[in-house]
Amino acid sequence: MNRIEHTFQQLKRAKRKAFIAFITAGDPDLDTTQKLVLGLEAVGVDIIELGIPFSDPLADGPTIQASYVRALKKKTTVVKILQTVKKLRTQTSIPIALMSSYDPILRFGEAKFIQACKQSGVDGLIIPDLPPEEAENLRRLAQLQDIATIFFVAPTSKDERIKANTKASSGFVYYVSLTGVTGTRQAVSEAVVKQIRHIKGFTNKPICAGFGISTPQQVKDIGRAADGIIVGSAIVKAIEQNKGNNVVSAVSRYVRLLLKSLN
């Protein structure tokens, strides 16, 4: 069974919600990325999203875009990221999903990329600019290797789109909790909770909410309805603000604070 699916089964039995942490691979460097994954697991993170840096991402705001620039300046590549995941697999079995624009995957070659993901120990793929209708071959290849393919539902999604994207998703469904790009927000609308409950009428798969979540209160509020919370920009910002030897401990403290509000 896929590690992501297994994790959600365990969490459901324990009546807990998933905390999913996004970090950019290679920011500030891949050695630190490896340490951050282990540090985040140690404080209770359930799933890691590793962002593959790209020069022209679709849905990422200024914080994550800046982290991509920093990672690219360090010559971070898809191959090096996969090597880092493979190293991590000697130390941890935490589920790891790669979040990437489609262009790096297309350049790598879909079949070659999926095979490399399998060999490295990747558990899932999140590709914001690849809708299910254009992802049939990638989904088929991923399914053969027991790699989850995770698709998005947005606040503007009509019921027909919700049905299609939840059906195509495996592992979990990624609910975009706001319109626009990634980035921290001060408030979360009650409409987010209402929409998550509406989506659950279409699927039994876990619904995890991301985009704009950065405070304990937001985690608590959205956690009432979602099966998991995804925090990205706020963690990336904490990494940037704590460059140096204390980055892992500083980021871990921040995430621990958010985790206390989830379950």
pLDDT digits (tens, 9 = 90+) for 196-243: 999 999 999 999 999 888 889 889 989 989 999 999 999 999 999 998
Predicted confidence at residue 180, as pLDDT, reads 42
Under the banding of pLDDT at 50, 70 and 90, the label for residue 29 is very high
Kindly report, residue by residue over 154-178, the tens digit of the pLDDT: 999 999 999 999 999 999 999 998 6
Residue spans per domain, the chain: 3-259
How many beta carbons lie within 10 A of that of residue 209, not counting itself? 30
Under the banding of pLDDT at 50, 70 and 90, the label for residue 186 is very low
Q: Which of 30-34, 117-121, 188-192, 217-221 shows the lowest mean pLDDT across its residues?
A: 188-192
Under the banding of pLDDT at 50, 70 and 90, the label for residue 185 is very low
Question: Domain 3-259 is of which CATH architecture?
Answer: Alpha-Beta Barrel (3.20)
Q: Which of residues 193 and 207 earns the better pLDDT score? A: 207
Backbone φ/ψ region at 254: left (φ over 0), alpha (ψ -120 to 50), beta: alpha
Is 112 exposed, middle or buried (CB count within 10 Å of its CB: 0-12, 13-18, 19+)? exposed
Please list, in sequence order, all residues whose beta carbon lies within 8 angstroms of the beta carbon of residue 158, skipping any fewer than 6 positions away.
Answer: none
Name the pTM for this structure.
Answer: 0.94
Is residue 159 annotated as a catalytic residue, yes or no?
A: no
Active-site residue among 27, 49, 123, 221?
Answer: 49
pLDDT of 263 above 80: no
* Average pLDDT for 95-104: 97
Name the residue type at position 151. F
Is residue 129 annotated as a catalytic residue, yes or no?
A: no
Asked whether 104 and 72 are in contact (CB, 8 A), the reply is no
* Average pLDDT for 90-102: 97
H or E segment and range at residue 23 = strand 18-24
pLDDT of 261 above 70: yes
H or E segment and range at residue 18 = strand 18-24
Predicted confidence at residue 96, as pLDDT, reads 98
Active-site residue among 27, 41, 46, 60?
Answer: 60
Predicted confidence at residue 3, as pLDDT, reads 97
Asked whether 19 and 228 are in contact (CB, 8 A), the reply is yes
Q: Which of 24-28, 134-138, 234-238, 240-244 shows the lowest mean pLDDT across its residues?
A: 240-244
Mean pLDDT (the chain, rounded): 92
What is the phi/psi pair of residue 11, to 5°? Answer: -65, -40
Predicted confidence at residue 63, as pLDDT, reads 86
